[in-house]
Amino acid sequence: MNMKQTWPGIDPNRARADADASGARVRREAAAAGRREYRTSLRKRIPFETLVSYGITYSVPWHIRNLSLGGALVDMDGSTLRVGSIIEFELRFKHRGRQIEHRIPARVARIEPRGVALQFGDYDDRAYADLTNLLYEIED
């Protein structure tokens, strides 16, 4: 992935400053709560659902609690998953009049009582551009 490339709709200077400010805020909040924070990218609450596919089971749509370039927290039943399980995260949304769909490989990073934290694997430049545009255009 060429990180120097400029993506349509994104001001790289603003994006970098926003990410730095967001990361600093997350680290301050984590420190105040007495825990370490390892997130390195902007994370936003989004009003979408996803399909999570794993093994031979295909799930019903699940609500995405928050999303970042590196992963997602999904409100789903994790009782049949284990930390480290490989899944497929399917994200569909409409952006600027065009339908966006990406299937992103992910690993189960954490299982909570109310959801599953996923860490994304490698994905292509187009998915990166679409996720970046989406994250920076959604209001907190």
Q: Where are the domains of the chain?
A: 42-137
Of 139, 41, 140, 135, nearest in space to 91 by CA: 135
Q: What's the pLDDT tens digit per position in 21-61?
A: 555 565 566 667 665 445 456 778 888 888 888 877 667 78
Q: Quickly count: other Cβ atoms within 10 Å of residue 116's Cβ.
A: 25
The answer to whether residue 134 scores a pLDDT higher than 90 is no
| Exposed e or buried b per residue across 30-60, where buried means at least 16 C-beta atoms within 10 angstroms of its C-beta | eeeeeeeeeeeebbbebeebbebebeeeebe
Give the whole-number percent of the chain exceeding pLDDT 90: 37
Please state which of the ranges 25-29, 41-45, 121-125, 128-132 shows the lowest mean pLDDT.
Answer: 25-29
Q: What's the pLDDT tens digit per position in 78-112?
A: 888 899 999 999 988 887 888 999 999 999 999 99
Query: Which is more confidently placed, 98 or 118?
Result: 118
- Mean pLDDT in the chain? 78
What distance lies between CA 66 and its chain's CA centroid?
6
For domain 42-137, give the fold: Thrombin, subunit H (2.40.10)
Could you give the CA distance from residue 42 to residue 87 in angstroms, rounded to a whole number?
22
In the block, residue with structure tokens 């996720």? 131
Please state which of the ranges 6-15, 64-73, 91-100, 109-118 shows the lowest mean pLDDT.
Answer: 6-15
Q: Are 78 and 115 in contact (CB under 8 A)?
A: yes
Q: What is the pLDDT of residue 21?
A: 53
The answer to whether residue 124 scores a pLDDT higher than 90 is yes
Q: What is the average per-residue pLDDT within 66-80?
A: 91
Q: What is the average per-residue pLDDT within 12-18?
A: 50
In the block, residue with structure tokens 């093994």? 55
